[in-house]
Chains A and B, each alone.
Chain A
Amino acid sequence: METTDLRLGVSDFVAVINQTFDYAVPSAVIIGEVSGLSIRQGKWVRFKLKDDASSVDFFGSIYQMNTPLEDGMMVAVLGKPKLSDKWGFSVSMQSVQAVGEGSIKRSFELLQKKLEAEGLFDVSRKRALPDLPTHIGVISSTEAAGYADFMKILQARWGGMNVEVARTLVQGVRAPGQIIRAIEYFNSSGNPPEVLVLVRGGGDADDLAAFNDEALVRALAASRIPTLVGVGHEIDTTLADLVADVRAATPTNAAQLLVPDKREIIERSRTMVKMMIPSIQARVNEYSREKDDLVSGSEVLINERLLAFKQELETTVRLLGEYNPMKVLARGYALVRGEVQVGKAIEVETKTTIIQAEVTDVRKR
C-alpha cells in the first residue's frame, strides 16, 4: 500500500464521497426504465432505473413521486447521488416525470383516475374568471413561443391591466417545482392578481409532461386565485388543463378567453349609435304617416259635410221650386186677385195672360 493513499474511517470516507458528489454532480436528471418499485410504510419509495447496460438504485419519499410509477415505465428522475452510511449508494429522488409516449400516457391515466376520484376535476369546483381583469398573473417561460402568442393577443385585445409575469421553466423535471412556487408566490402576495394564467406552446408528449405533475395539479387546485391554463395545441390535454378553472385550447385562446376585444367593443358602440338613426327615422315616418292620415281623414270629413250641405241645398231648392206660383199656373191654374163680389172688377192671371174681368155671379158650392 502506497503511503500517499488516503487513509479514512468509513464515516469519513462516506462524507468525502458525498462531498465529491456535491461538487461534481450536485444533481442530475437520469432517464431509464423503472424496475423493482416498492413503497414501504406508505411513505418510502425505492426502485431501480436501468438501461441495456446498467442499473442504479433510487430512494425518496412518496411526496416526491409526483407522477404514478409502475415497473416498466420510462421516467426522468431529478436526483442527487448519495452514499448512505447504512444503505449504500442510491440517488435521492427530488422529482420524477414519465418520458416517452407510452409511459406518459400510462402515467397520465393512473394520475387522472386518482385525482378524478378525489374530485379535483369536478365541474362544481370551477370558478368563473373576472369579466374584466385589471391585474393578472402570468406564469410561463418568456422565451417560449406560447408566451409571445399570449402576450401579443392580450395586448391587441385589451389594455389598462397590470400584468405580472413569473418566469419559469415550462418543460423538464424542474419545471413543475418552479411553476408551483410561482403559483404559491402569487397566492401569498399582499396584492394578488385576480386571475392566474399558465401558458405554454405546443410540443410533444415529453415537452408537456410537466403539466401532468401531481404536485402541480394539486397546487393549481389549491390556488385561491382562479386559474386559466392554455397549454399546447387544441388536441393536447394535460392534467393541468383538467384541473384549471378555465381551460384554453392554446395560449392564443387563453388571451381570447381572458379579455374582450377592444376592436369589437369599438365596433359595437359605433353600431349602437348607428342603430339610433333608423329609430329616429322610423318615428319621423310614423309621425308623418299619422299626420297624413289625419289630413286625409279631415278632407274626407269636409267633403262629406260639403256633400251633405249640397244635397240639403238641392232639396230645399227643389222644395222651394214646388212652391213657385208660376208652376201652378203652368199646370193650367189661374190666380184671381180682387174682391169676389158681383159687379166688382177682378184680375185673373194665367201662365200666359193677365185678364181684367167683372164678377157677374158668385155661388156657393
Chain B
Amino acid sequence: MSEKDKTIEEKMNMLRETAAWFEGDDFSLTMASEKFEAAAKLASEIEHDLEKMENQITLLKRSFEEA
C-alpha cells in the first residue's frame, strides 16, 4: 500500500509511532532529520486529507407515513 492509499487513521498511527521514536531509546541523530521530514510530510498530508473530506448526504425519498 503506498502512502497515498493509507487512511487518515493509518497516517495518524504512523505519525504517533514516529513521535514515539523521537522519545524512545532507538532515537539517533543520524536518522532524526529523515524521520522529522517524513513526519512533517505526513502531518501535512493528514491536514490535506481532512480538509478535502466531504460528507455525502442523502435525503431518503421514501415516506415513513403509515401505509
Mark each residue of chain A from 241 to 282: 1 if its CB lies under 8 Å from any CB of chain B, else 0.
000000000000000000000100110011011011101100
Within 8 A of A (CB), among B10-64: 12, 15-16, 18-19, 22-23, 27, 29, 32, 35-36, 39-40, 42-43, 46-47, 50-60, 62, 64
Q: A181 an interface residue at 8 Å Cβ cutoff?
A: yes
Q: Which of A160, A163, A181, A265 contacts B57 (CB 8 A)?
A: A163
Q: A188 an interface residue at 8 Å Cβ cutoff?
A: no
Q: Closest Cβ of chain A: how far from B12's Cβ, in Å?
A: 7
Q: Give the CA-CA distance A273 to B51 in the complex, in Å.
A: 18
Q: A317 an interface residue at 8 Å Cβ cutoff?
A: no
Asked whether, in the complex, the Cβ of B29 is within 8 Å of the Cβ of A265, the reply is: no
Q: A284 an interface residue at 8 Å Cβ cutoff?
A: yes
Q: A63 an interface residue at 8 Å Cβ cutoff?
A: no
Asked whether, in the complex, the Cβ of B15 is within 8 Å of the Cβ of A283, the reply is: no
Asked whether, in the complex, the Cβ of A161 is within 8 Å of the Cβ of B64, the reply is: no
Binds B, one of A98-106, A164-172, A200-208: A164-172
Q: Which of A163, A185, A265 contacts B50 (CB 8 A)?
A: A265
Q: A75 an interface residue at 8 Å Cβ cutoff?
A: no
Q: A182 an interface residue at 8 Å Cβ cutoff?
A: yes
Q: B3 an interface residue at 8 Å Cβ cutoff?
A: no
Asked whether, in the complex, the Cβ of B39 is within 8 Å of the Cβ of A163, the reply is: no
Asked whether, in the complex, the Cβ of B27 is within 8 Å of the Cβ of A265, the reply is: no
Asked whether, in the complex, the Cβ of B19 is within 8 Å of the Cβ of A276, the reply is: yes
Asked whether, in the complex, the Cβ of A280 is within 8 Å of the Cβ of B15, the reply is: no
Asked whether, in the complex, the Cβ of A163 is within 8 Å of the Cβ of B55, the reply is: yes
Asked whether, in the complex, the Cβ of B40 is within 8 Å of the Cβ of A273, the reply is: yes
Q: Closest Cβ of chain B: how far from A282's Cβ, in Å?
A: 10
Q: Give the CA-CA distance A107 to B60 in the complex, in Å.
A: 33
Q: Closest Cβ of chain B: how far from A18's Cβ, in Å?
A: 19
A interface, how many residues as a size bin?
A: 35 or more
Of A94, A178, A273, chain B has the most CB atoms within 10 Å of the CB of A273
Q: Closest Cβ of chain A: how far from B41's Cβ, in Å?
A: 9
Q: Interface size on B (CB < 8 Å)?
A: 35
Q: A197 an interface residue at 8 Å Cβ cutoff?
A: no
Q: A192 an interface residue at 8 Å Cβ cutoff?
A: no
Q: A159 an interface residue at 8 Å Cβ cutoff?
A: yes
Asked whether, in the complex, the Cβ of B55 is within 8 Å of the Cβ of A154, the reply is: yes
Asked whether, in the complex, the Cβ of B59 is within 8 Å of the Cβ of A142, the reply is: yes
With A269-B43, A280-B36: A166-B56 Cβ-Cβ less than 8 Å: no
Of A160, A162, A275, chain B has the most CB atoms within 10 Å of the CB of A160
Select from chain B the residue with minimum beta-carbon distance to A286: B29
Q: Give the CA-CA distance A266 to B53 in the complex, in Å.
A: 13
Of B16, B58, B60, B62, chain A has the most CB atoms within 10 Å of the CB of B60
Q: B65 an interface residue at 8 Å Cβ cutoff?
A: yes
Q: A132 an interface residue at 8 Å Cβ cutoff?
A: yes
With A272-B16, A280-B29: A160-B36 Cβ-Cβ less than 8 Å: no
Q: Closest Cβ of chain A: how far from B19's Cβ, in Å?
A: 5
15 CB-based A-B contacts, threshold 8 Å: A161-B56, A162-B58, A163-B55, A177-B64, A177-B66, A181-B66, A185-B60, A262-B53, A265-B46, A266-B51, A270-B47, A272-B19, A273-B43, A276-B22, A279-B23
Interface residues of A (CB under 8 A from B): 94, 132, 142, 151, 154-155, 158-168, 174, 177-179, 181-182, 185, 262, 265-266, 269-270, 272-273, 275-277, 279-280, 283-284, 287
Supplied contacts A174-B65, A275-B22, 8 more A-B pairs, CB within 8 Å? A158-B55, A160-B54, A163-B57, A165-B60, A269-B12, A269-B42, A273-B36, A283-B32
